[in-house]
Structure 1
Amino acid sequence: MSNKLELYHGSGQIVEFPEIRKTRYTKDFSWGFYCTNSYQQAHRWAERKHENGIVNVYSYTENNQLNIKKFEKMTNEWLDFIAECRAGKVHAYDIVEGPMADDTIWNFVNDYLNKNISREVFWEYAKFKHPSHQISFHSIRALECLKYERSEVINDSTVE
C-alpha cells in the first residue's frame, strides 16, 4: 500500500461505512461508491441532491495489489469506457479513477451515446471544458482502502 490522500463523498447522510449499491441507472464507471479529491465538487453533490447535505471525508490509501484503472484525462478510451458502463457493461476493476464530466460535458456524452453527434463533434465541443475528478470503488477490497474520518454538514458549520 502507498499514496495516502483525502477523498470526499457528497451525500444526504453520514456514510461511515461506504457501500456499493446496484441502482436503476449505471454511472460513468458503472455501479460503485463514488468520491472525489475536490471538496468543492463533493459539496456541490451534497447541496444539489439533498436538502440537508453532508460531505463525508475519508483517507484513501491506494492498494497496488488491486485492479485499478486510471484515466489521466479525457481520451477516446475514457469515452468508450463510459459508453460501455452507461450501457450496463460490467468491468473487472476494483477502482476506477479519472475525469468526471460536468453537466455540460455530460450533455455532450449523452449526445454521443445517443448517436446525435459523432466522436469528432464530441471532442470539438469538449475541448475547452475542464472536467473534475472522480474515483469509484467497485469491490469490498477496494472499499477497505477508505478510512472514514469525519462528516461535515454543509448547511452550517457543524462537524461530526
Structure 2
Amino acid sequence: MITMTVNGKVRKGLAEPRLLLTDFIRHELGLTGTNVGCEHGACGACTIRVNGQIVRSCIMLAVQADGAEVETVEGIAVNGEFSPLQEAFHEEHGLQCGFCTPGMLMTAQVLLDKNPDPTEAEIRDHMSGNICRCTGYQGIINSVRCAARKLQQNSTADPATNGSAR
C-alpha cells in the first residue's frame, strides 16, 4: 500500500514493486488524463509533477512516489473551470488530437511558474522534450505566450494570484 497526495488530496492504493507511476495513476487512482505514449520517457505524454519537479511518469515506479506530492493534468483546473493556461490552449488551437496535451500543459505550467514572461525561444527550448505529431508546434507556442499574457493581466488585476498558472 502506498500513499501520496495527488492534486491536493491524499490517495492510497496498491502498487506492486515494478508498477509504473503512469499505470498507478491511471488504473489504481482512475485519473486518465496522464497519457502513456512511448513508455520510454521520450515523448512527454506522461509528464506530471512530483514534489514540484517535472517527471516522466512512464519511467518512474509508483513506489518511488510513496509519500510524495503529485500533480497531474486533472489538478490544473481552478474550481472546476479552465485555468488561464487551458483557456489559452483552447483559444490558440494548441491541440488537435489532444493526446500530447496533458504533458504539454504540465510542462508549460512549470515554465510559467518559473518564468511568467518567457520569450518564444525560451518556450521552444522548455517545450522541446514534448512531442506532438499533429500541430507543428506553432499553436502550442502561441498558447503558452497567450497564457503568459493572461496570467500577467490576472496578477495585475488581483495581486493574490501572484502570477500562478493554476
Q: Which one has the bigger helix percentage? A: 2
Between 1 and 2, higher relative CO (CA 8 Å, sep ≥ 6) is seen in 1
Please give the TM-score of this superposition, normalised by the length of structure 1.
0.26
Q: Which one has the bigger strand percentage? A: 1
Please give the TM-score of this superposition, normalised by the length of structure 2.
0.25
